[in-house]
Amino acid sequence: MPWNSRSGPRHRQLRQRSYDREVVVVAVILVVASLASVFTAYVLLIYSATVDSRRPFSDQQRISHTHSAIPPSPISSDRPLVFEPSVNYLAYLPHSGFHNQRIALENALVLARMLNRTLLLPPVRLGVALAYAPFDDLYDMAAHATKVGLKHCASASPTRSTRTLECEDYESYTHIPWGWLVDLPALQSSQPLLPGWNFTDAWLHSALNLSASDIFRLKDSSRNQHAFQDFVPPHPLRPSPPRKFSEPLHLAALARRPERLLMLGSLFGSSRLHLRVQANRDLRRHVREKMVLTNPHLARVTDAIRAALGGTYLALHLRIGDHYFEANAPATVRRAWWRLLQLGLGFSDDEIASLEEESFPEELEEPLDAPVFAPDLPALRSPHPPLPPFPSNTSTAAGFTCRGLLHRAPNLKRLNAPLYIATDADSPRLNPLLWRFLRTFPCTFFLEDFTEQTRPL
């Protein structure tokens, strides 16, 4: 188990290049906000309370660290911080797209509260993402991902061939504070936060007066290495049922660390925190509720999109544009299409199989079996309240017409429901992988169809 402190030379930044444009990032944010309106949208996410004031710990022991609430400061602030030698901190390394960063922050907020530490709050990175890498590499990548001293790049030539190396990726990403997206004061009322960390040891020393001996780094070598649990298995020597993460760590082990800063690697993963103590589960639910997007500009845009879709619509999150997801895109699309018909509209397996055979004979050299869907264990642990049947008479708003021909057969009229697909696919209407949806659902829409509604952005 790699409990070693950080050492060794830093590697050069690992550059991830992607064809994703920043508008795709905005699309992701818009989709999250629109899907949050569950009272008007039926959502199928495919692949992709008052908290007890007591310290929520499984061993019922209290941690004696002292907290001092630190007021928020702008990410770019250069004003000196007052050293708080009695305050202990928690930090982590964010990576990947917006949704992954949001989930990682949720986990970090829960851990910081349970460990009684002030959380060093990183900014949100939008645009070309930092891919996951082992701890040392990801730390270097985050530290080098800065625009400090590069203001001249904003007026540099837009032609990549004439740009200097330092300006090459200047416009490929941006950082914004979390407070621009979520209700940060509501989170800060119960969890001290400190924005401003730029992922460098120099900042930790100058801003917090932390030396190397004050920092404990829990390094990961794979994204699914460390999980955190608040219980001791009843039979610790007996093999546990297989889980996604390879090394479960008891929270009490982290709570006993004397270092002022506990630095973790990746915290992405909705099941990374394995909690059984009810107070801890309540805390996690409280944090997730407070992570709803509250930006008024995005809210107005999503309200306009929802109105154009008629108020009641199907929604699908489909990631097929990069890395693992691109390689598995054909199977992912078929499974998502099948699941949408099955769960969203109530078609039987036989009806879906007949529709598939009639609509896409060129894709099927021979009839395929229905996809097998493994149980969604996180959803079973926290079940969503059952939704009523999807209405059979939904339609878009007047003046916002469907692109395809509506189905006239009585048994297929359900397919005329508006469908919003959030995807990272480039030019989705021209992407052959998405033709399955376009040919089945004549009222399929993508973010690019809402230029008027997104104009304020």
Does 176 share its domain with 155? Answer: yes
Q: How far apart are CA 390 and CA 341, in angstroms?
A: 11
Does 275 share its domain with 341? Answer: no
3-state secondary structure of 190: coil
Residue 199 is predicted with a pLDDT of 92
Is residue 408 in some structural domain? yes
Q: What is the dihedral of CA 190, 288, 194, 123, to 10 degrees?
A: -160
Number of domains in the chain: 2
Q: Which pLDDT tens digits describe the chain residue by residue (457 residues)?
A: 444 444 444 443 434 444 344 434 444 444 444 444 333 334 333 333 323 333 333 333 323 233 333 333 333 333 444 567 789 999 999 999 999 999 999 999 999 999 999 999 999 999 999 999 999 999 999 999 988 888 889 887 666 556 788 888 888 999 999 999 999 999 998 899 999 889 999 999 999 999 999 999 999 999 999 999 999 877 666 655 557 899 999 999 999 999 999 999 999 999 999 999 999 999 999 999 999 999 999 999 999 999 999 999 999 999 898 777 888 899 999 999 999 999 999 999 999 999 999 998 877 766 678 888 888 776 777 777 888 888 888 999 988 999 999 999 999 999 999 999 999 998 999 999 999 999 999 999 999 999 999 998 8
Amino acid making up residue 171: E
Does 258 share its domain with 318? Answer: no
Extract the tokens encoding 336.
Answer: 């998502």
From 290, 319, 351, the end of a domain falls on 290
- Rounded to two decimals, the pTM is 0.75
Does 363 share its domain with 273? Answer: no
- The answer to whether 118 and 89 have CB atoms below 8 angstroms apart is yes
Extract the tokens encoding 47.
Answer: 């692949």
Q: How far apart are CA 27 and CA 301, in angstroms?
A: 11
Does 320 share its domain with 244? Answer: no
Is residue 34 in some structural domain? no
Residue 380 is predicted with a pLDDT of 77
Residue 351 is predicted with a pLDDT of 95
Is residue 28 in some structural domain? no
From 242, 269, 290, the end of a domain falls on 290
From 251, 266, 290, the end of a domain falls on 290
Is residue 236 in some structural domain? yes
Is residue 173 in some structural domain? yes
Question: For the chain, how are helix, strand and coil distributed in percent, rounded to 5?
Answer: 35, 10, 50
Of 249, 229, 288, nearest to 57 by C-alpha is 229
Is residue 31 in some structural domain? no
Tell me the longest C-alpha to C-alpha distance in the chain. 72
Does 241 share its domain with 335? Answer: no
Does 209 share its domain with 119? Answer: yes
Using CA atoms, how far residue 173 sits from 23, 127, 129, 280, in Å, is 11, 4, 8, 35
Residue 142 is predicted with a pLDDT of 95
Residue 260 is predicted with a pLDDT of 97
* Residue 199: exposure state from Cβ atoms within 10 A (0-12, 13-18, ≥19): buried
Does 395 share its domain with 335? Answer: yes
Is residue 43 in some structural domain? no
Does 252 share its domain with 361? Answer: no
Does 322 share its domain with 197? Answer: no
Does 101 share its domain with 241? Answer: yes
Does 245 share its domain with 304? Answer: no
Range of the domain at 360: 296-449
Is residue 4 in some structural domain? no
Order of all β-strands in the sheet with 444-445: 41-44, 313-318, 419-423, 444-445
